[in-house]
Chains A and B, each alone.
Chain A
Amino acid sequence: MESQKKQYNRRSFLKVSSLSGGGMMIGASWFMSLKPIEVMAAGEAAPEWVLVNGYIQITADNKIKIQCPNPEFGQNVMTSMPMIIAEELAADWKDVTVEMAKYDTPTFRRQFTGGSQSIRAGWNTLRNAGATARMMLIAAAAQQWNVPAAELSASGSLVSHKATGKQASFGSLAAIAAKMPVPAKPELKAKADFSLIGKPTKNVVGKNIVSGKPLFTMDYKVPGMLIAMAERPPAFGMKLKSFDAAEALKMPGIKEVFNIKVYNDDYARAMFDARTFNELVVIVGNSTWEVMNARKVLRAQWEPIAESKEMVAGFGGNKREETIPAGLESTSGHLEAMAAAAAKPGRVLRKDGDPEGAFAQAHTILERTYSAPFLAHNTMEPISCFANVTADKAFFVAPTQAPDFIAPTIAARLGIAADKIDIQLARMGGGFGRRAYCHFIVEAGVISQRIKAPVKLIYSREDDMTNGIYRPAYQVTYRAALDAANNITAFHVKGGGIPETAVHENRFPAGAFANYLAESWVINSNITIGAFRAPRSNFIAAAEQSFLDELAEKTGQDPIEFRLSLMKKAKEQPVGKNNEYDAARYMAVLELVRDKSGWKGKLDKRGVAAYFCHNSYAAHVLDLSMKDGMPVVENVVSALDCGVVVNPEGAKNMVEGAVVDGIGNCLFGEMTFENGEPQKKNFNQYRMIRHREAPKNIDVHFVQNGIDPTGLGEPPFPPVFAALANALYKATGKRFYDQPFIKQLTTES
């Protein structure tokens, strides 16, 4: 048993001794009856579940229901998080059903899905939840059989007494267990004794997905529910001037047309209180198609914004002033502005040794500049939110990665106490960071409060794609100073973006060079941005790992051995004190991908890249062939170190998805602007990777090191871009510096 040192959240494990039915006990597909949740609960003859703790309920006939605390957007936490609980509970997985938890952060402590932290941050809590319940079940059996608890063991949803051969199911013990004292110090299993963690396990929601059950916010409906959509300015840098609703109101099925403010004028936004346009014109009607038609005849006038300043809170309550410039921005202007900013001295983020001196004395300097455009998240389910706001409470069904970020914002905007705000955490049709910014819940709440009716706010695909919160546009220049013998004497990175930089000054290869300089710059914009799968890393890895490839070639070294030699230096004689990465773990993924890909001696049309982010390490080797001037990715071998892999089936799927996502965004991903107007409004204009462009094969390997889990959703994504760029160089003889690569591929073919 491992002893548990960290404080755990006892409130989550407080027992509820009475038998409970009702509200929480609805089956996995809680949309199915298409009735409000309260109605369903009252009408349902729930089995008698004993709530052993906040996460675990058990029936007398040994059915075990486990709550998944974190929102699900396809990373399959609904399987992996309950697996951790079931492991420590010693439950037979066949007895387990899973339910998405309610929004109840005091009980579940952390309900944020983002930053690849669900498993890492939940690991101890979930293990404690399972272990606590197991100990209480054992204590119940000990009391029943009048034997010491130490003589009892639990496995397969049973408690056993070896000496007498007595056995009792968890179900038969649950009611007594729930009355047992909550153990002060849960005894956790040794990792070597894990039987469920590490076992490939199918998605618990799989059957509902393939049979088309209504699982998503977009699918939610209740009797009397109205549909709302909103008109927003056609371009960044514009705002509402006036509107004429007369024609729209004449359209069939239309109930009301009005304008709303997302936030009040004096509201100081919290960190995730993004929004692109604050004043919207809302059309409410009976059905989606009727509202879509009415939008076509709504007359609205827009006018340019003036420059403004807003206070925005950051982590830890620090407030900073954000300048929102006036003007209608275009991609051509962005490129000019980035070139101009890059030419000026940047803000120094880190400096080791004497980089200026080393560059002044260099025999040769290798300098390369990389860029990437804004990206739209393009989740397959466009944004939607159900709201039913009454006098003193507000109920939402929402696709949110971050319910506890937005709840105080909703409370402030609607004037309703925070504890009267209930958010059902719907399965999300993709997230990728977009749904950490939940202004759309506020919008739906304001609309429902105004019309005094249940309403579902829907963004059309065009609304979803053209309303900002994009991945920023970036540019970075890498320089390396070489002496006459091709030794690298200094390394320089200077990068920036609109409106956020991408430089991680303390990550590899910082620590490997005696003379090192990292600088950054930013350009303000009225185009809104947000986190996008591995924010900043997704660009900086592409550039850095492409540059290292070129540097390896310049110095006559194998790309993998070159990286390993730098990491060895950083491991044995690190420069500087703030290096964020563990060089040994970094080396291990490169060695694994080298060995699994049969790297040595086979360098034709293949590229390698590695990166560290979200506490994990990832490396890919990508093989391609060229057909009609376009790459066909034949094979990708991936190596990941994310510590213990809870569910290898879901984990492999996520890495495969990251590989496909990386290739797609690198080749095709791009949002451009003309006079503030997004130039791509739907999938007929915004090119997404499709079946034909997907790799023919993806082979995923995990480092087995028994370390507590670290992130996985994001880490495999950033290095894909450079693995592709480096393979393209081998295949075409051309280096690819500017994303999306499709532009260079089509102009050169």
Chain B
Amino acid sequence: MAIFKLRVNGQTKTVDLDPATPVLWVLRDHLDMQGTKYGCGVASCGACTIHLNGNAIRACQLPVSAVGASEITTIEGLSKNGDHPLQKAWLEHDVAQCGYCQTGQIMTAAALLKKTPNPTDEQIEQAMNGNICRCGTYTRIKAAIKTAVKQK
């Protein structure tokens, strides 16, 4: 066990944990932030996508000991009132079916737009390819990303 001070969504959180604990479980079990989802635990589905210093990463593969002073952003911190342009576009396109993967999809898309504000279809597909949606909402996700680009 070891004490870690984490920067999460602009706040400092202190946890006392096994240093190998993935940030996914730190968020879900210890910080009561359930928006970051467990889907596979092997970085193959994207449901646990968060931002580390603005980059999309898989929280299931990031040990808490590796975070250091880096800034973590989760879906809970993406916007104050769930009104990030992507979140609004997701509602406009009524993207979700079951909804389980969608927070991870949005976090991946948000990191993409930060780096590539006006992505091509190919760039969208490339960036989003690691996020599985079992319900098959891919066409709506792509349309929503394009709408968010226009709104920015």
Taking beta carbons and an 8 Å cutoff, which residues of A are in contact with B?
31, 34, 73-76, 202-203, 205-207, 209-216, 218-219, 221, 227, 252, 287-290, 293, 378-382, 427-432, 460-461, 649-650, 653-654, 656-661, 664, 682-684, 688-692, 694-698
Does residue B72 face the partner (Cβ distance < 8 Å to A)?
no
In whole angstroms, how far apart are the Cα atoms of A227 and B126 in the complex?
Answer: 37
Contact check, A73 vs B98: say whether CB atoms are below 8 A apart.
yes
Known: A75-B97, A207-B82, A289-B18. A653 touches B41 (CB 8 A): no
**Distance from A343 Cβ to chain B, minimum over Cβ atoms (Å):** 37
In whole angstroms, how far apart are the Cα atoms of A288 and B60 in the complex?
Answer: 12
Max chain B Cβ within 10 angstroms of own Cβ: one of A215, A252, A430, A684: A430
In whole angstroms, how far apart are the Cα atoms of A289 and B90 in the complex?
Answer: 32
12 A–B contact pairs at CB < 8 A? A210-B102, A211-B35, A216-B37, A288-B25, A289-B20, A289-B22, A653-B97, A657-B136, A683-B39, A683-B42, A688-B134, A690-B132
Contact check, A653 vs B35: say whether CB atoms are below 8 A apart.
no
The residue on A at minimum CB distance from B43 is: A684
Contact check, B139 vs A694: say whether CB atoms are below 8 A apart.
yes
Known: A207-B82, A212-B34, A218-B37. A380 touches B136 (CB 8 A): no
Max chain B Cβ within 10 angstroms of own Cβ: one of A31, A213, A429, A656: A429
Does residue B66 face the partner (Cβ distance < 8 Å to A)?
no
Known: A653-B140, A694-B138. A212 touches B36 (CB 8 A): yes
User: Within residues 105 to 152 of chain B, which ones have a CB less than 8 A from any CB in chain A?
Assistant: 106, 124-126, 128-142
Residues on B with beta carbons closer than 8 Å to the beta carbon of A690? 129-132, 138
In whole angstroms, how far apart are the Cα atoms of A109 and B132 in the complex?
Answer: 35
The residue on B at minimum CB distance from A462 is: B41
**Distance from A114 Cβ to chain B, minimum over Cβ atoms (Å):** 15
Contact check, B141 vs A288: say whether CB atoms are below 8 A apart.
no
In whole angstroms, how far apart are the Cα atoms of A218 and B98 in the complex?
Answer: 13
In whole angstroms, how far apart are the Cα atoms of A31 and B28 in the complex?
Answer: 13
**Distance from A636 Cβ to chain B, minimum over Cβ atoms (Å):** 9
Q: A694 is contacted by which of B21, B36, B134, B136 (Cβ under 8 Å)?
A: B136
In whole angstroms, how far apart are the Cα atoms of A215 and B103 in the complex?
Answer: 12
Contact check, B97 vs A654: say whether CB atoms are below 8 A apart.
yes
In whole angstroms, how far apart are the Cα atoms of A210 and B79 in the complex?
Answer: 11
The residue on A at minimum CB distance from B96 is: A209
Known: A34-B32, A692-B125, A692-B129. A74 touches B99 (CB 8 A): yes
Residues on A with beta carbons closer than 8 Å to the beta carbon of B134? 378-380, 430, 432, 661, 688
A-B pairs, top 10 by smallest CB distance, nearest first, are A212-B35, A660-B136, A74-B98, A429-B100, A211-B82, A212-B75, A74-B97, A694-B138, A209-B99, A219-B34
Residues on B with beta carbons closer than 8 Å to the beta carbon of A227? 29
In whole angstroms, how far apart are the Cα atoms of A697 and B121 in the complex?
Answer: 12
Does residue B101 face the partner (Cβ distance < 8 Å to A)?
yes
Residues on A with beta carbons closer than 8 Å to the beta carbon of B79? 211
Taking beta carbons and an 8 Å cutoff, which residues of B are in contact with A?
1, 18, 20-22, 25, 28-30, 32-42, 44-45, 47, 74-76, 79, 81-82, 87, 90-91, 94-103, 106, 124-126, 128-142
Contact check, B97 vs A657: say whether CB atoms are below 8 A apart.
yes
The residue on B at minimum CB distance from A201 is: B94
In whole angstroms, how far apart are the Cα atoms of A215 and B142 in the complex?
Answer: 24
In whole angstroms, how far apart are the Cα atoms of A255 and B94 in the complex?
Answer: 44
Contact check, B99 vs A205: say whether CB atoms are below 8 A apart.
yes
Residues on B with beta carbons closer than 8 Å to the beta carbon of A287? 25, 29-30
Apart from A212-B35, A430-B134, A656-B136, what 5 extra A-B contacts exist at CB < 8 Å?
A: A211-B79, A288-B29, A380-B45, A461-B42, A653-B95
Residues on A with beta carbons closer than 8 Å to the beta carbon of B21? 289
**Distance from A502 Cβ to chain B, minimum over Cβ atoms (Å):** 23
Q: A218 is contacted by which of B38, B44, B82, B87 (Cβ under 8 Å)?
A: B38
Residues on A with beta carbons closer than 8 Å to the beta carbon of B142? 691, 694
**Distance from A652 Cβ to chain B, minimum over Cβ atoms (Å):** 9
**Distance from A436 Cβ to chain B, minimum over Cβ atoms (Å):** 15
Residues on B with beta carbons closer than 8 Å to the beta carbon of A657? 97, 135-137
Known: A428-B98, A650-B94, A683-B45. A210 touches B136 (CB 8 A): no
Known: A460-B41, A657-B135. A427 touches B96 (CB 8 A): no
Residues on B with beta carbons closer than 8 Å to the beta carbon of A75? 97
Known: A214-B34, A653-B94. A691 touches B99 (CB 8 A): no
**Distance from B9 Cβ to chain A, minimum over Cβ atoms (Å):** 11
**Distance from A228 Cβ to chain B, minimum over Cβ atoms (Å):** 13
**Distance from B93 Cβ to chain A, minimum over Cβ atoms (Å):** 9
Contact check, A689 vs B32: say whether CB atoms are below 8 A apart.
no
Contact check, A683 vs B87: say whether CB atoms are below 8 A apart.
no
Known: A212-B36, A664-B136. A380 touches B30 (CB 8 A): no
Contact check, B140 vs A656: say whether CB atoms are below 8 A apart.
yes
Contact check, B75 vs A211: say whether CB atoms are below 8 A apart.
yes
The residue on A at minimum CB distance from B136 is: A660
Residues on A with beta carbons closer than 8 Å to the beta carbon of B35? 211-214
Residues on A with beta carbons closer than 8 Å to the beta carbon of B129? 690-692
Known: A213-B35, A656-B140, A690-B132. A682 touches B25 (CB 8 A): no
Contact check, A206 vs B94: say whether CB atoms are below 8 A apart.
yes
**Distance from B145 Cβ to chain A, minimum over Cβ atoms (Å):** 10
Contact check, A210 vs B76: say whether CB atoms are below 8 A apart.
no
The residue on A at minimum CB distance from B99 is: A209
In whole angstroms, how far apart are the Cα atoms of A577 and B35 in the complex?
Answer: 54
**Distance from A413 Cβ to chain B, minimum over Cβ atoms (Å):** 27
Contact check, B138 vs A691: say whether CB atoms are below 8 A apart.
yes
Q: A215 is contacted by which of B28, B45, B97, B99 (Cβ under 8 Å)?
A: B99
